[in-house]
Structure 1
Amino acid sequence: MTGRALSLVVFDVDGTLVDSQGDIVAAMAAAFDTVALPAPPRAEVLGIVGLSLDVAMTVLAPMLGAGDHARMVQGYKAAYMDLRATTGVAQSSPLYSGALEALEALRARDDVLLGVATGKSRRGLEKLVEGHRLQGVFQTLQCADFHPSKPHPSMLLAALAETGVTADRAVMVGDTSFDMDMAQASGVSGVGVGWGYHDRSRLTGARRVIDGFEDLPDALDEIWGLPA
């Protein structure tokens, strides 16, 4: 044992661990087809990644009512599942370079627990974990089925409660301002990633912004005050 306090690293999924933007954009186009409207530009669609689908639809189509938003959510889910079934998880949502190695290195540490906080549904998250053979990697899985949308702190507060880790020993790794705002709201340090769906200029709430997974260990040690 290291004698260090137990720590927690919670990862966002889309735009952080996996690059699913192709399927997200295509599924959103299908969602807008259900209400006979053209989909917004790609940048606008990627800008809502991380929000729960019900909230995302109200942002992208504020002129519509709750019934249309509900139809869009169902249309999106059906299209996304079809795309994933056609191409397979590994191809439709490939892991970013270095992601698997970073997870394996952190998992090997006896003072670190891993978790996920995502706007995905539980079903979608489980399919992704299964598709990338990540079963047993994460000690806590928080998703949209059981929590308000990011940036509400509910997901991270639940992760802390489930693992018994204190907020000062926890880090949220994500690519969006929603992730960083959620981290701040829960008293957790945020590490932004520069390769995701929000421009790094929006990650103002992050303690650090990294450009590759190889930079994550140093960022964690700096936040936790560990020697290099």
Structure 2
Amino acid sequence: MPPPSLLIFDFDGTLFNTHASIKETIKLTFTTLLPTSPPPPDRDIEAQIASGVGLADTFRSLHPTASTSPLPPAEFENWVSKYRELYAQHGQGLVAAYPDAKLLLQTVQSKGIPMSIISNKGVEAVKTALANNGLEGLVPEEFIIGDKTPGAKRKPDVGSFEDVLLPRLKEKGIADADRGNILVVGDTVADIGFARNLGSRVCWCRFGYGDKTECEGLRPDWVVDGLGGVVRILQS
């Protein structure tokens, strides 16, 4: 196989271990905004993390009124804002890059392969985590696409690529990549679905948060148990 023309990385559960930070900040958000009710049980929070859905959908599903009288969508935007505020204060300290994350990004950079992060996470949270873990500057900031980036869509929708990343790549003189030669690296069904919708190849990170049975059933092109496995794919 030829080397990838572009690498698109997921963030949570792929480059970074953010499970504890997400879970604890979700609980803290419920404790702050709904102090009269206990926070959702861990198993329900973990199921939402494994699905790869966005924050608004996560809070909508976990809210105690979800099955009776759901709150209006605008209300959950307030929950998302509070979550981000609390995450910046309390969650970032629980975030750590996975082993070989720096080696992987340096390998991609040394090979001259363009790379991007497309995440359902906010861009500032991604940039802060990269900086805190010594990875700042390896992924061009303009190629980091997240929730609230104008024009971005939650995976598996490919709008974040078509409407946001692709125009930015062209602005930098990077030719339109052959979709079949793009490599998506992610850990959930949303990432695999994104790759399939894009018509690209996909490497599933089995060590991440995705449901193992569901992800395996989608038959990703590669499966790795650590980021060093992605390095070996690139070197082969």
From 140, 152, 170, the equivalent of 2:157 is 152
Inter-partner Cα distance in structure 2 for 1:9 and 1:199: 23
Equivalence for 1:225: none
Deviates more, 1:162-171 or 1:10-19: 162-171
Q: Deviations over 1:160-199 (max 9, x none)?
A: 4433322112111111111111111122222110111123
Mark the CA change 1:100 to 1:39 in structure 2 (over 3 Å): closer, same or farther. Answer: same
- Matched with 1:123 is 124
Q: Which residue does the alignment assign to 2:28? A: 30
2:182 is the alignment partner of 1:170: yes
- Aligned residue for 2:83, secondary structure, equals helix
Higher relative contact order (CA 8 A, sep 6+): 2
Conservation of the 8 A alpha-carbon contact between 2:5 and 2:182: yes
Whole-angstrom distance in 1 between the partners of 2:191 and 2:154: 10
Equivalence for 2:172: none
Give the stretch that moved more between structures: 184-193 or 4-13: 4-13
The Cα offsets for residues 61-113 of structure 1, whole Å up to 9 and x where unpaired, read as 334312542332233222211114xxxx4x42111111111111121102x11
Give the CA RMSD over aligned residues: 2.2
Q: Helix, strand or coil for the counterpart of 1:165?
A: coil
Deviation >6 Å, runs of 4+: none
Q: Give yes or no for the alignment of 1:179 onto 2:191.
A: yes
Contact 1:156 1:183 in 2 (8 A): no
In structure 2, the partner of 1:224 is none
**What number of residue pairs does the alignment pair up?**
213
Query: Structure 1 length normalisation: TM-score?
Result: 0.83
1:21 aligned residue (19, 22, 25):
19
Query: 1:145, CA displacement in angstroms?
Result: 0.9
Identity across the alignment (%)? 20
CA distance, structure 2, for counterparts of residue 105 and residue 93 of structure 1: 22
Deviation at 1:220, TM superposition (A): 4.8
Distance in 2 separating the partners of 1:150 and 1:5: 24
How far does residue 11 in structure 1 lie from its aligned partner after superposition? Answer: 0.9
> Is the Cα contact below 8 Å between 2:105 and 2:139 reproduced in 1?
no
**Contact 2:123–2:146 (CA<8 Å) still a contact in 1?**
yes
Counterpart secondary structure, 1:143:
strand
Supply the distance in 1 between the matched residues of 2:167 and 2:41 (Cα, whole angstroms): 39
Measured at CA, do residues 38 and 167 of structure 1 come closer, stay the same or move farther in structure 2, by a change above 3 Å?
Answer: farther
Indicate yes or no: 2:30 matched with 1:12. Answer: no
Q: Offset of 1:118 from its aligned partner?
A: 0.7
Distance 1:56 1:70 in 2: 11
Match of 2:48?
48
Residues 1:207 and 2:221 aligned together: yes
